[in-house]
Amino acid sequence: MKNQTVKQLVEGAALAAVFAVLFLISTYVPLLGSITLWTLPLPFILMIVRNGPGSGFVMWGVTIVIGFLVAGIPSLIATLTFGIGGLTAGYLYYLRKSALAVLIGSSVAYVVSLVLVFVSSILLIGQNPADLAMEMLNQSIRQAEYFSNMLGQESNQFEMLREQISVIRYLIPTALVMLGVVIALISQLISVPVLKRVGGFQPPVFKPIREWAFPKSFLWYYLVVTILMMVGLEEGSTAFVAAINVYSILNALIFVQGLAVIYFFSHQRRWPIVVPILLTFLGFAMTTFVVIIGIIDLGFELRRRMKS
């Protein structure tokens, strides 16, 4: 029992040191840091998978204290954000949950932590970070418009950009949700080979993209929200903010459904994997078309008809 405790302490110290190194690289090494950023949850995931939830939370607490004393607020933010998500993913792995359950659980954890950081920043600096971001964007547009006028070009497009930016501020909830899901997904994909090699654990994997499908009810939600948006809700109202965020999230989900159809069709045609990957990049340039495919699949079971 004593040897086991010593082993857990040693592993906890080692993984805390790994987190510290990854954090420093992510903060001070621009190119490499953009890669190591996504690995920050791994030490917490490994600790729980190898030694149980209790050890993971102890390690997290120690990492918070030491990181704050050494690197201050930035380390505290990173440890809270990636620690909460990593601990959640690790605990769900520990319970032998499915890959989808791990993704949903860790996504919720990341979103909650990001919201806490967002609200805390408002309380600490006394200003909404969204307002600062909007001001920076508007400043960039003003500079671009100035140079455009100097060159004698029309500046009508800049008015359209200003209108679009005025709507972006209402999409902060969607941005936080999307960011949480992206962090969770990338971290989960990175953790699979690491857990296999170092964790002595066979993590669950996702189904092939071609088999992904969302409930048909999403189509009705999408239709209702689209009608509400067409009716013309008052900009800035609670109903407007709620509708535009729900619409954006559903639009992203149906886009994924459309990509699943593309991968299914490619599999049916026995095309090499590079083809659907290229079509995926093309799909981001033709978002509306992919969304339409997703809507047809949700409403008319397009993939089932392809099978027959």
Q: What is the pLDDT of residue 89?
A: 93
Whether 165 maps to a domain, the answer reads no
Q: Which helix (H) or strand (E) holds 63?
A: helix 53-71
| Residue 270: burial class (beta carbons within 10 Å; 0-12, 13-18, 19+) | exposed
pTM for the whole structure: 0.83
Is the same domain home to 117 and 236? no
- Give the pLDDT band (50/70/90) at residue 56: confident
Q: What is the pLDDT of residue 110?
A: 93
Q: How far apart are CA 292 and CA 286, in angstroms?
A: 10
Whether 289 maps to a domain, the answer reads yes
Is the same domain home to 187 and 280? no
* Higher per-residue pLDDT: 72 or 91: 91
Is the same domain home to 237 and 101? no
Q: What is the pLDDT of residue 41?
A: 92
- The answer to whether residues 293 and 258 touch, using CB atoms and an 8 Å cutoff, is yes
**N-to-C CA span, the chain:** 60
Is the same domain home to 221 and 95? no
Q: How far apart are CA 19 and CA 157, in angstroms?
A: 45
Q: Please determine, for residue 105, whether its predicted confidence score (pLDDT) is greater than 90.
A: yes
Is the same domain home to 82 and 106? yes
Q: Please determine, for residue 18, whether its predicted confidence score (pLDDT) is greater than 80.
A: yes
Whether 158 maps to a domain, the answer reads no
Whether 280 maps to a domain, the answer reads yes
Whether 41 maps to a domain, the answer reads yes
- The answer to whether residues 262 and 280 touch, using CB atoms and an 8 Å cutoff, is yes
Mean pLDDT, rounded, for 56-68: 84
Write out the residue range of the structural domain in which residue 280 sits.
209-307
Whether 157 maps to a domain, the answer reads no
CATH number at residue 64: 1.10.1760
Is the same domain home to 181 and 235? no
Two tokens at 101?
């359950």
- Give the pLDDT band (50/70/90) at residue 55: confident
Mean pLDDT, rounded, for 146-165: 66
Is the same domain home to 98 and 215? no
